[in-house]
Amino acid sequence: MKNNILGCLVAVIIVLSGCSTNEENTISLDKEQSYIPMVNLNGIIYSSYSLTKQEKYTVGEVFGEIKRRVPSSEIQKENLTSNSYDEGTVIYNVKEDNEIFLIEESLGVYSILNKIE
């Protein structure tokens, strides 16, 4: 009889803990989560997919600067906005391909921005 009651109590505790509305069990969209860095350039969304040294592409002229950083969960609707890069981050043209842009991550190392198809 005691084992039966103990078993029922354990089952009730498990069920109740699974139904908890404790804040630590909730998922918030406001928290930063993993995402693909994106930039809106003239209404076209580009994603940052890799890093390169200047060996693969020749850095061209300055295309522009990020004007506003938006939350990572937001889709960029305005020109020169990003869900990853801070305001003032410089975007460069590439001499070899007019559909690829570069963002300097550190001295001589660039993120490649490629159009999302």
What pTM value is reported for the model?
0.66
What is the per-residue pLDDT across 3-48, written as a single tens digit (0 to 9) for each? 444 444 334 344 344 444 443 333 333 344 457 899 999 999 999 8
Counting other chains too, the contacts that 79-82 makes at CB distance below 8 Å and 24 or more residues apart are: 79/40, 79/41, 79/42, 79/43, 80/39, 80/40, 80/41, 81/39, 81/40, 82/37, 82/38, 82/39, 82/40
Q: Which residues 6+ apart lie within 8 Å of 50 measured at CB?
A: 111, 112
The whole-chain average pLDDT of the chain stands at: 74
